[in-house]
Chains A and B, each alone.
Chain A
Amino acid sequence: MNRKKHHYKKGFIFLLLSMVVLLSGCEQMVVFDPKGPVAESQKDLILYSLIYMAGIIVVVFAAFAIIVVKYRDHPNRKASSYKPNLHGNKAIEAVWIIIPIIIVTLLSIPTVNTLFDLEEPPVSSSDKEPLVVYATAANWKWFFSYPEQDIETVNYLHIPTDRAIEFRLASAGSMAALWIPALGGQKYNMAGMQTVLYLQADEPGVYDGRNSNFNGEGFTEHTFEVYAESGDKFNEWVSEQQETAPNLTQKKYNKLLEPGLVDRYTFSSTHRDWVQHGTLEDMDYTIERFREAYETNMHLENDGEQTNNEH
């Protein structure tokens, strides 16, 4: 019997140790390593909730371990420790109803606050107008239109640091979700409507972005990279593209729009001149043109490298 007891203790200590080891790796995990104020506020909220969750886990696990060990059926137990008809206790039941309600309340307040904050551009850059970027997901590539700069990029994105980016999300086909975990959480891209997502980078760098909502065969490759750089460098990049990149014609756009994977492209005009996928009138643009293209299979395999290497 003693040996058995030992086992439980060992298992419990092992569990605690392994959790500590795994949690110590948190700093490297992208959600816990935010590069902008939006991701920062979400990380704070997650860490805040983790404190309560850890508390709940410790209490329940400890109570569970003690009870299971103490009340197992073994010969050395006192008869008085067995009460087969004990079936309720109003006081303790009230405690374990009230405490969870308090916890839920304490979790709800910051959640609601953060939710309302996320609908606005981050406070830290409120002195500057947000940079508007239309992010359109098409099967299985990304079109980023910069209306002010009148340029459009495919499958990659340049943004200035310390300035809010107002993403206007839409889809040219199936539903997608724009997610750049280092900068903040995602929102859906849907055809026929437009959602707004504010993100911001505070540190220059290259961040992974992707579609996180399953949308068919090319889903795994439906990714892009975000180049965050200082305002000056960003403006430099913009003027360079405005001068050197070709115009985006509707014919070229339609070619790119066809379901399938494409490389990176840059254009010195945007597709918004002839189609706005986020509106009800234009939500069938792709379907009307490429219905047959969905019938063919790409036979996509992992070739060990991403397709969007060309810059």
Chain B
Amino acid sequence: MQLDEFFVTGEPLIYGGMVAIALVTSAILFILTYFKKWNWLWREWLTTVDHKKIGIMYILSALAMLFRGGMDALMMRVQLAFPGMNFLNAQHYDEVFTTHGTVMIIFMAMPFLIGLMNIIVPLQIGARDFAFPFVNAISFWSFFFGAMLFNISFVIGGSPDAGWTSYTPLAGAAMSPGPGQNFYLLGLQLAGIGTLATGINLMVTILKMRAPSMKMFHMPIFTWSSFITCFIIIFAFPILTVALALMTIDRIFGSQFFTLTGEGLPMMWTNLFWMWGHPEVYIVILPAFGIFSEIIATFAKKRLFGYSAMVWSIVLIAGLSFLVWVHHFFTMGAGAFVNSVFSISTMLIAVPTGVKIFNWLGTLYKSKIEFSVAMLWSLAFIPSFVIGGVTGVMLGMAAADFQFHNSYFLVAHFHYVLIAGTVFACFAGLVYWYPKMFGHKLNERIGKWSFWFFLIGFHVCFFPQFFIGLDGMPRRIFYIAPEWFTLNFISTIGAFGMGVGFAIFVYNIYYSFRYSERETTGDAWNNGRTLEWATAAPVPHYNFATLPDKVGYDALLDMKEKGETTFDESKLEPIHMPNNTGKPIIMMGILAFASFALVFEWVTLAAIGLIGTIIMMGIRSFDYDDGHYVSVDEIKRTERAARGLNDE
């Protein structure tokens, strides 16, 4: 293979990307070496099994991916605002929207939420760690390497270009030759291992690791939404795993599952993809609902309205999410009866979702609203998401969908639900729990700037798209007819507004790191209702010195009333914690190497890598490391320091 087949050549934008990658990588390497941080990085982060640190790594990676996906979005918007400039050619444009969709869903939204779940769920249920901390580290590294594998595609080998849904036969070997599509398949497959493992891990954690006496129906609502999300993950992800595997075998080993030759069934991919893909959108929205519920209750200083209705509506939404996948291809000609069934089941989802919206309004009713940045994101979510929701019902009406399908109306709809739902929740959740993660708050004033830029930019960007869609503009075209120009141009302005909002958000992280007051109390907002706010600041690696006992709903409120804390010196006992280990990163590193080899169809190398992974599993199975105990003295010292108590 020639070097110029390996690296992507001939595109000035991609050369720019290469230079940027090289510069950033060498800068990181230089800083780590210069400040002698390699050892620290390995000891504290790369080998960690602490759920909080793993969560932070998830969120940092997700923010990086948000940047990448956002750059893709801005490139598309520039091309559509100035089509004559030929900023991107057709092929490059196809690659950019493919990676935008994939990165945002798989490598941004999901990891961001999983990161928040990682950090918060064990704290909310009074647990000291995940049920399987080692597996948790494996999950993170498989996601991380999957994301990296997918991301290098634009400089090495070439990006996938068949859309994030990668419909066959277009995505098959015959019509999309080259490594691009393989990057998609193996990047997703590798990351999918981590997601599935997290689903199982988190579910067991929630079921088995709760504080003694915490009943299921006393769990905080974010934990509930995470729990139901785990169900969806466990039932939906195997479908994706199988579908990806079948297409990989098609492309690399010449089988005929989804091909046009040899009696393949291309539409089977579409079915499998959406049987996973529809539940997937609820994997990224249900935890978001949980986040908003927590934040609204906290900053409205009021108990959540309709708690059990909230829980049951999540359960109902999760169940229905598996029964509606055909609405992604009403236009396939399945017939009026099938379309009617899926049309009605789709519209039914609006009922439990509506219940949730009204319950949030009910929570705000007779409350005392404090307009903190986290609360602003949550409040802005409600009207924005309602627009996304009602247009979703319109799309669910199959006969009308024949006109909406594949048009910008659809693009506007799913950005309205995914950005107003998921992205707002990511920002809100990060701001809200930031003091738990880093021991200081984000600056509120800068946060408000970022919020307003992003919110206004968002509506300016996507609201016009409903109308361009109704005017017949399809998605994924790389230049536009003149009659669509004005609204597209407005849309592009909005996209840059969102970009500015994100930039301010990132600046805020830096600014607050430098100048924000350090937290001295665990209950950073003074209104914490749930157990995560009962830990010390910074959160010790064992979370709770003494596990809260007899907890009910809004456990921290109860504790505050009774004057209890999670640090009762008379009850201290040594705490058992797992040891750090380098095996997860090594194991997943080898698997990533195997995947990379398979992308280029170097089957021997891939086999060697796979054997290496299996050997690592063998080594792990003979690992008799039982972890260590944190002594009572150490707990005392840590807690006293964190809580500002005097030494005896």
Contact = CB atoms under 8 A, between A and B. Distances in A.
A49 B174 CA distance: 43
Interface string A107-118: 110011011111
Given A115-B340, A186-B406, A301-B90, A60 B331 contact: no
Interface string A54-93: 0011001101100110011100010001111111110011
Contacts of A67: 361, 364-365
A204 interface: no
Nearest to B265: A192
Contacts of B357: 60
Given A68-B364, A287-B261, A173 B306 contact: no
Interface residues on B, range: 35 or more
Contact of A107 (B84, B162, B169, B397): B397
A26 B197 CA distance: 49
Contact of A49 (B260, B263, B304, B397): B397
Given A71-B369, A213-B406, A188 B89 contact: no
A240 interface: no
B355 A96 contact: yes
Contacts of A265: none
A280 B403 contact: no
A92 B362 contact: yes
A88 B311 CA distance: 13
Interface in B86-145: 86, 89-91, 94
A96 B355 CA distance: 6
B91 A217 contact: yes
A92 to B, nearest CB: 7
A66 to B, nearest CB: 10
Contacts of A287: 169, 174-175, 259-261
A63 B86 CA distance: 47
A304 B303 contact: no
A47 to B, nearest CB: 10
Contact of A175 (B169, B303, B383, B407): B169
Count chain B CB atoms within 10 A of each CB in A32, A174, A195, A280 and give the residue with the most.
A174
A26 B469 CA distance: 11
A29 B471 contact: yes
A264 interface: no
B170 interface: yes
Contact of B476 (A103, A219, A295): A219
Nearest to B85: A302
Interface stretch (B45-53, B54-62, B385-393, B497-505): B385-393
A280 B94 CA distance: 29
A81 B368 CA distance: 9
B370 interface: yes
A104 B305 contact: no
A119 interface: yes
Interface string B167-178: 101100011111
Interface string A17-52: 000001001101111100000010110011001100
B165 to A, nearest CB: 9
B398 interface: yes
Interface in A142-190: 169, 173-175, 177, 179, 181-182, 184-188, 190
B79 to A, nearest CB: 9
B340 A179 contact: no
Contacts of A301: 86, 89-90
A101 interface: yes
Contact of A71 (B332, B365, B393): B365
B397 A298 contact: no
B475 interface: yes
A103 B349 CA distance: 12
Contacts of A92: 362
Contacts of A214: 94, 162-163, 167, 170, 406, 475-476
Given A73-B368, A181-B403, A46 B394 contact: yes
B476 A107 contact: no
Nearest to B309: A93
A294 interface: yes
Interface string B232-266: 00000000000000000000000000011111001
A283 interface: yes
Count chain B CB atoms within 10 A of each CB in A64, A100, A118 and give the residue with the most.
A100
A290 to B, nearest CB: 9
A81 B266 contact: no
Interface string B485-523: 000000000000000000000000000000000000000
Contacts of A119: 335-336
Interface residues of A, number: 103
B291 to A, nearest CB: 19
B333 A29 contact: no
B530 interface: no
Nearest to A67: B364
B371 A72 contact: yes
Contact of A116 (B262, B329, B336, B479): B336
B431 interface: no
A42 B305 contact: no
Contacts of B348: 104
A242 interface: no
Contact of B369 (A68, A179, A217): A68
Contact of B174 (A179, A188, A294, A300): A294
B467 A56 contact: no
Contacts of A139: 175
Nearest to B299: A73
A216 interface: yes
A294 B365 contact: no
Nearest to B178: A295
Interface string B384-426: 0011001101100111111101110000000000000000000
Contacts of A111: 340, 343-344, 397-400
Given A45-B399, A173-B175, A104 B344 contact: yes
A129 interface: no
A187 B84 CA distance: 31
A295 B305 contact: no
B68 interface: no
A264 to B, nearest CB: 18
B23 interface: no
A4 B401 CA distance: 41
Count chain A CB atoms within 10 A of each CB in B333, B391, B398 and give the residue with the most.
B333
Given A30-B470, A111-B398, A302-B478, A190 B267 contact: yes
30 contacts: A29-B467, A30-B471, A31-B470, A31-B471, A32-B470, A46-B394, A49-B393, A57-B387, A68-B379, A71-B364, A82-B366, A82-B368, A87-B303, A89-B362, A93-B358, A96-B355, A104-B348, A107-B397, A111-B343, A119-B335, A119-B336, A174-B167, A175-B266, A179-B472, A191-B260, A195-B333, A216-B162, A220-B479, A291-B174, A302-B478
Given A56-B386, A190-B332, 8 more contacts: A29-B470, A85-B302, A116-B336, A118-B402, A188-B331, A214-B406, A287-B261, A302-B83
Interface of A: 22, 25-26, 28-32, 39, 41-42, 45-46, 49-50, 53, 56-57, 60-61, 63-64, 67-68, 71-73, 77, 81-89, 92-93, 96-97, 100-101, 103-104, 107-108, 111-112, 114-119, 139, 169, 173-175, 177, 179, 181-182, 184-188, 190-193, 195-197, 208, 210, 212-220, 280, 283-284, 286-288, 291, 294-295, 297-302, 304
